[in-house]
Each structure stands twice: as C-alpha cells, then as structure tokens.
C-alpha cells in the first residue's frame, strides 16, 4: 500500500512504536506467575485486570516488533510460547472460550464478566498469526488452542445465530443477529476440524443495507460504531474479495468509514470535537466512562442519545487501510493541535471539547491494538500476510464463498 507523504509516514511510525510499547510494557512478565504473558485491559484504573483480546493484540505486537528489529526474535518467541502455556494451563474459561476479563496474576475471572466469543476470537487470531510467523512450538500450541474451541456450543440451534455472551450463573443471552465485528468467528468456526459450525450461520446473519447521502448500499451495524467495521479486517485481508452474493466487505468498511467522516462533518455545529479532521465515532472512554455506543449514521440506534462529542484517535487510525488520506490528516490534526492527547503510548484513548476540554488519561489495549495492526497493515501488510497463510483461515474463507474476484 502506498505511503502518502513523508511527514504522515513519520507520525504513523511514532504511533506504531508507542502502541507496540503498550503491549511490551503492560504485560505480566513474571515467569513465576500463573498469569505470565497476560496484558492489561487498560493502563491506569484496573491495574490487575487483563483482557484476552489485549493478549491477542499483544502477540501481533511481538510479530511487528520482531520484524522491525525492536525486539530480539528469540525473546519474542519465548514470550509468546510461554503465554500460550498460560492459556493452556491457567486461564479460566469453558469449551475453549475464555472469560473476557481475567486477573493478570492468576488468569482467573474478574468483574463477574462473561465468557466472550468475540474476545476469544481476537485472542486466537493473534495466536494463529504468531504460529504462522514464528512456527515451531508456537504454531503447534496455537492450533491446539484453536481446535479445543467448541464453536457449536456457542450457537443457538433455534436461530442459528451465535449467542452474544455466556455466564455460568445465568446461561447464554443475546445474539449476534446482524453484521458487526464478528466476521472472524464465522471464518474460524466453519473451518474447525473438531467443532465446526454450519456455513449458513454466515448466510443468515442480517445484512441491513442503506445509503448515507451519496454513499450507497452500506451494510451497517447497530450503533454505526466504527470498530465493528475494523476488527475482523485487522486479521483477514478482504481486499479484492467478494462472497457468493457479491458482498465486498473491504469496500463496505471503506464506505462506512466515509459515512462516519461525513456524519462528523454534518454534526460540527452540534459537537465542538467533530469535523473533517476529527472523526471516527467508535467505542472508547468518554467523560462519563466507557461507552460502546458512540457511532455514526447509518445505524439503528438513537445516536442523539449515544453521542456526546467524544472522538478517539483509534477511529481514524483503525480505518487507515480504508481511507488513508483522511486518516493521516486526522492523526496529524490530533498530534499538531491537541498535545494533551499524546503521551507515553502515543495517542490517548479519546478527547471531548464540549462543556470543558477533557482528555482521557487512559490507554485501552483493544484501541491501541487496532491502531497498531492497521497502521502496520497499511505500511507493510505484515499481519494480513501471516494470518492469511493459515490453512484454517483459507479453508474458512473458501467454505463461506469469500474469494478473490
């Protein structure tokens, strides 16, 4: 993919390295700990809480660091290898799925959280990518962990949708009934050699479609939150591919990102933070705490209720493969004009200029992770290259009919 200009490239490399540093430094590296290799969910207010998604992104970070000579290959290999041992032996879960939030020292459940299908998928995507890059024991252990995931257990047989979540106290709830960030779960699920799901799960997923101004036929998500168009694309290279119905998921994410930009421009009068170079409404920390509802049209949710003017840099950074010119201009705006938004791990989670200037002091693993991976994919296609080498990923895409044009 083409680098647009020298300054933009320099800023991208700064954000890439500092995002990498989050995963390097916010991990448990005590070799005597049962939680070795676990990565914090965020860096300040939940010091003992790791998230399994952060670990998945952390494995991608070690691939990037090895390739860019930021870390010795043997050191990165050993760190990932021991982290996989932590999951094999200590991390709490059920049927191959893991609790969303776990204690960074013990690997045990925290916050009475759910066993999460999507966060397990992000973790396993990182592990499989590491297996292809480092090979050896890492590949063997990553595939061992992949093969014990009972995707069928998480499927509602009455609706043929994945459930949204599971707690042992209350059972399953909700459903992944319409398009969002879960494309990766269908690819991984149909290809499983042990507990595969039927390919009709992908077909029956609702794919509502509408226009936003002149941007036509966007398959949209419930809240229109931008991460839902990014997370599966961090791993799966959907470029120049269509499914049997002619859906081009890469082009769809590009259109959704352009709609997000246009929505923020259209709402400049309502929110001081919004504008042509300040966009990317997506899940992040806001002045009132974390919200997964920040979004843009098209959406089913009431965005007048959900949005409060908060913008996160990971919105633009995570869409850089779709809209490089717009993304680089937004990141340059944040860097040049809002110095309080920059810190030891690069861009902080979010900012808001409404009642008074507010800047998050927090960094969140999944937000640094999507920024890091998408910037690296834009610069070198590294994570795409190795994830797409995996035989099960290729098998899953083939079963679902997602093929090169």
pLDDT means over runs of 10, the chain (405 residues): 56 98 97 97 89 98 98 98 98 98 98 98 98 98 98 98 98 98 98 98 98 98 97 98 97 98 97 97 96 97 95 98 98 98 98 95 97 98 98 98 94
What ranges in 111-162 are assigned the alpha helix state H?
Answer: 117-134, 136-147
What span, in angstroms and rounded, lies between the C-alpha atoms of 248 and 48? 41
**What pLDDT is stored for residue 404 in this prediction?**
94
Give the pairing of strands 241-242 and 403-404: antiparallel
Tokens of residue 111, six digits: 């916050």
**What pLDDT is stored for residue 8 in this prediction?**
66
**For residue 123, which of 235, 48, 29, 27 has the smallest C-alpha distance?**
235
Say which residue the tokens 């937004």 belong to. 330
Residues across the chain: 405
What span, in angstroms and rounded, lies between the C-alpha atoms of 106 and 83? 13
Domain boundaries, the chain: 6-404
Close Cβ partners of 381 (under 8 Å, ≥ 6 residues apart): 1, 237
**What pLDDT is stored for residue 44 in this prediction?**
84
Phi, psi of 327 (to 5 degrees): -65, -45
| Torsion, Cα of 236, 238, 277, 275 (10° steps) | -100
Cβ-contact 397, 317 below 8 angstroms: no
* 3-class DSSP assignment, residue 166: strand
Q: Which CATH class is domain 6-404?
A: mainly alpha
* Helix%, strand%, coil% for the chain, nearest 5: 45, 15, 40
**What pLDDT is stored for residue 47 in this prediction?**
82
Residue by residue, DSSP assigns 285-326 as EETTEEES----SS-SS-HHHH--S-B-HHHHHTTTTT-HHH
Peptide bond into 282 cis (omega under 30): no
**For residue 94, which of 169, 150, 143 has the smallest C-alpha distance?**
150
Tokens of residue 137, six digits: 């024991």
* 3-class DSSP assignment, residue 331: helix
């Amino acid at each position: 993919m083409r680098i647009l200009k020298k300054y933009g490239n320099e800023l991208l490399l700064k954000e890439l390295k500092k995002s990498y540093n989050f995963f390097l430094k916010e991990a448990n590296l005590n070799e005597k700990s049962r939680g070795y290799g676990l990565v914090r969910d965020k860096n300040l207010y939940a010091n003992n809480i790791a998230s399994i998604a952060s670990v998945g992104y952390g494995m991608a970070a070690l691939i990037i660091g090895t390739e860019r000579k930021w870390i010795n290959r043997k050191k990165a290999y050993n760190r990932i290898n021991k982290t996989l041992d932590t999951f094999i032996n200590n991390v709490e879960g059920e049927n191959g799925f893991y609790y969303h939030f776990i204690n960074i020292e013990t690997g045990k459940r925290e916050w009475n959280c759910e066993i999460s299908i999507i966060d397990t998928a992000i973790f396993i995507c990182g592990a499989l990518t590491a297996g292809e890059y480092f090979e050896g024991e890492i590949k063997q252990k990553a595939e061992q962990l992949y093969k014990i995931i009972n995707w069928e257990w998480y499927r509602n047989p009455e609706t043929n949708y994945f459930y949204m979540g599971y707690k042992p106290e209350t059972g399953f709830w909700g459903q992944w009934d319409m398009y969002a960030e879960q494309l990766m779960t269908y690819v991984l699920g149909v290809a499983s050699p042990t507990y595969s799901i039927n390919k009709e799960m992908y077909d029956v997923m609702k794919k509502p479609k509408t226009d936003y101004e002149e941007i036509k036929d966007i398959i949209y998500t419930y809240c229109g939150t931008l991460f839902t168009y990014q997370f599966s694309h961090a791993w799966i290279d959907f470029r120049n591919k269509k499914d049997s119905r002619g859906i081009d998921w890469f082009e769809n994410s590009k259109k959704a990102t352009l709609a997000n930009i246009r929505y923020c421009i259209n709402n400049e009068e309502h929110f001081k933070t919004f504008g042509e170079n300040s966009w990317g409404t997506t899940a992040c920390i806001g002045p009132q705490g974390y919200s997964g509802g920040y979004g843009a049209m098209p959406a089913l949710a009431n965005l007048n209720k959900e949005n409060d003017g908060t913008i996160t840099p990971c919105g633009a950074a995570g869409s850089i493969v779709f809209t490089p010119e717009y993304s680089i201009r937004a990141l340059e705006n944040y860097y040049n004009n809002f110095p309080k938004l920059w810190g030891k791990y690069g861009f902080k989670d979010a900012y808001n200029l409404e009642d008074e200037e507010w800047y998050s002091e927090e960094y969140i693993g999944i937000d640094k992770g999507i920024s890091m991976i998408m910037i690296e994919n834009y610069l070198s296609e590294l994570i795409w290259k190795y994830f797409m080498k995996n035989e099960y990923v290729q098998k899953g895409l083939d079963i679902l009919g997602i093929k090169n044009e």
